[in-house]
Each structure stands twice: as structure tokens, then as C-alpha cells.
Chain A
Amino acid sequence: MVQINLPKNSKIQQGHYYKDKTGSQNIRKVNIYRWDPATGENPRIDTYEVDMDNCPSKVLDLLNKIKNEIDPSIAYRRSCAHGVCGSCAMNMDGKNGLACTKPHAEIKGDINIYPLPHLKVLKDLIGDLSTLYKQYESVQPWLKTTKIIDDTEHHQTKEDRSKLDGLYECIMCACCSTSCPSYWWNGDKYLGPAVLLQAYRWIVDSRDEDRKERLKKVADELKLYRCHTIMNCTNACPKGLNPAKAIASIKKMLATS
């Protein structure tokens, strides 16, 4: 269901303002979405003045600096800091991405940081992705084969292997799915770009013997065809992948099979 307005308990309030204490001449304002499950209050936007002369280049560095030097109470996920784990996916400057690969110099004006859109917030910048993980499980993302090879690798031709390029690199950060308006309105039924790209990754794997079943399972008005090629997913992907194209490839396969 399309629900443009946020529910009552999600309306955002004006939060605290943390003035710069370093006396730096190079200050930027950082607005961060905050919600504390312990208080039961509505979410708020806290504003931090940050000394940019002593801050490394990425948005994650900025967050770390705020957490270490200004406000230790702020919560966000991060791990590898190299764009591989996908933990620090969030909405920066109105677009989803990984905080560890997004340079804050690319953002003009105040830096606005929100959790990934249209998720239940667990705390501050941490959204609940359990629905997405359940949907991921539903496409059975593992190799299904009757061939059991114990002593050698399971070979593919170079062409077959190249079909997985642009798919296997996906790190499941959920930037794409949570950027998709169709997923916002129908996230409980529509699988979303991340999961559909993964579904396609197994559909085109030459070693997999379950292609027909996989296609049949995904061929559903709601699960697949809620994609209207809005392309927000491809715009958002921090790994430069193309979920919109993967979804279109599934649709094409279904139309021509």
C-alpha cells in the first residue's frame, strides 16, 4: 500500500545541537537521524558541528569522528570500512550508499544522514532487515545439483562463468531494495532488487539444475512484476551493479521460455 506520510510515531522532531568546541575555521554541519528505543520518544535530527580539518575523507570517518569525539551514544553498523561487507549502508544526502566508500566532499551543503529508507528502525541509523533476509532465504541461494563431485572442482566454461559477472559481486547491503518505491509500498510481498538479483544469479548459473523451478517460483505478479523499472536500485548500488537489468532478464526469460 502506498503510504506517503510517516506514521505518527515516526514523525521527526528537532533534536540537539552540538556546537563545535575545537575553534576550527573549517566547520561542516552534520544532521543525523536519531531514535532511542529506551525513551519511547519520536525520532529526532541531531546536528553536529564537525571540524573538517582533522577528518578523513569518507562519511564513515565522519561518523567515527562524531562517535569518538562528540557523542558516543550514536549507533550505526560498520565493519570492514572497505566497501566489502555492506554493513554501513545508509542514506546520505538523499541517496543510499555505503558510508565507507562515500566521500563527504561529494556532498554539498549540510550533510544529512538517515537510516536506509522505509525500514523499522532498531536504533539511530540501524534499520531492521529481517524481512529482506527471509526473502533472500526464500529464493534458496545455494547450488542445487545432483552431480556430486568429490575430488575436482565443478567446472564451468569461460562463457558460462562470465554470466555471473555483475551478479556475484553483490554484497547484500540492501541499498538497492530500500531505494525502491515499489519495495517501500509492497516490501512484504515484492522481493525487491537485491533478492531478485540474487535469484537471477542462481537462475543463470550453468551448474545449477533447478532453473525451471527457480523461474516458476519467482514468476509472480507481486514477487517479480512489481518492478516498474524506476531504476532507483541501479542508481543506488555502491558496487556499480545493475539489479534493474537482472530483473528485466528474468522477465525476458519468462516471456520467451
Chain B
Amino acid sequence: MSNNPLSPHIQIYNWHISSLVSISHRITGIINFLTLFLVCFWIWTLLLSNESYEIVFNFFNSIFGKFFVIGFVWSYSFQILSEIRHWFWDLGYGFELKTSKITGVLVILGSIIITIVLYSIRGLLV
């Protein structure tokens, strides 16, 4: 039995909306956890000096920094929407295949829309 091969699994299995949202939920969870440290670091630089704040300010306004901020906003939007989906599941709703597919698509589209909206009105928020 020990020499019997293992049949292929993730290599051959089709992705569905639900599995895609599930793995993204995990990945964004880890990203959010890690980026919180960066946000804390940013706030910390406020206390240190004008120059150190300037460095972080410039970073956020560079192309990479903007990409980072947009990614961060998307990651949080996605996590929050997906978590709301999980709450409904925990209450016992939304398990029908069709419903779960629709809510999965809503999470993906919703997170993109929230990102665009938040990023385009960011001037009003500060």
C-alpha cells in the first residue's frame, strides 16, 4: 500500500466561485494582518519627526505606494464582505448552490466597487 500513488487533486480540480472566494478570504486575512503592522508603523512615524513622516508620506504617494494602498483597501473590502457572507452561513442561510454562487460573485464585484469608490473619494475622507 505504501508505494501506491496518490491520485491528483488540486492539480486537476476545477475552481468554482465558492472555492475561489474561500481561498481569497484566507489570503486577504493574512495580508490584512500583516499590513496592520505597516499602518501602525505609519502612525508611529507621526510621533517621531516631521522627516520620518515625510518618508512614509512619499512612499504612499509613489507608484508602488499607491498600488499598495489600493491593494490594501481591496483586501479589507473583500475580507469584510466575505465575512458578512460567512455570518449568514453561520445562521444557516445561503447554502443553496445558486445562492452561494450569487453571493460569491457579489463579494468579488462588491469589493472592487468599494475599492474604486473609496479610492476616488479619498480626498473627502481626510
Say whether A42 contacts B5, CB under 8 Å: yes
Say whether B6 contacts A94, CB under 8 Å: no
Which residue of chain B has its CB nearest to the CB of A91? Answer: B12
Interchain CB contact (< 8 A) of A121 among B6, B10, B91: B6
Which residue of chain B has its CB nearest to the CB of A12? Answer: B8
- CB within 8 Å of A: which of B60-89? 86, 89
Q: Would A114 and B7 be within 8 Å (CB), given that A91-B12, A94-B14 are in contact?
A: yes
Say whether A230 contacts B19, CB under 8 Å: yes
Interchain CB contact (< 8 A) of A114 among B3, B12, B26: B12
Which residue of chain A has its CB nearest to the CB of B20? Answer: A230
Q: B-facing mask of A123-147, CB < 8 A → 1, else 0?
A: 0000110000000000000000000
Q: Which residues of B have CB within 8 Å of A15?
A: none
Q: How many residues of A contact B (CB 8 A)?
A: 46
Say whether A234 contacts B97, CB under 8 Å: yes
Q: How many residues of B contact A (CB 8 A)?
A: 27
Interface SS of chain B: helix, strand, loop or mixed? loop
In the bound complex, how far is the Cα of B87 from the Cα of A66, in angstroms?
A: 48
Q: Which residues of A have CB within 8 Å of B1?
A: 120, 128
Interchain CB contact (< 8 A) of B8 among A95, A117, A230, A248: A117
Q: With both chains docked as a complex, state the minimum distance between the C-beta of B5 and any C-beta of chain A, in angstroms.
A: 4
| Residues of chain B at the chain A interface (Cβ within 8 Å) | 1, 3-14, 16, 18-19, 22, 26, 86, 89-92, 95-97, 100
| Residues of chain A at the chain B interface (Cβ within 8 Å) | 4, 6-7, 9-10, 12, 33, 35, 37, 40, 42-43, 91, 93-95, 112, 114-122, 127-128, 179, 181, 184, 228-232, 234-235, 242, 244-245, 248-249, 251-252, 255
- In the assembled complex, 6 residue pairs joining A and B whose CB atoms fall closer than 8 Å, in A order, are A6-B8, A35-B4, A95-B14, A228-B26, A231-B100, A248-B90
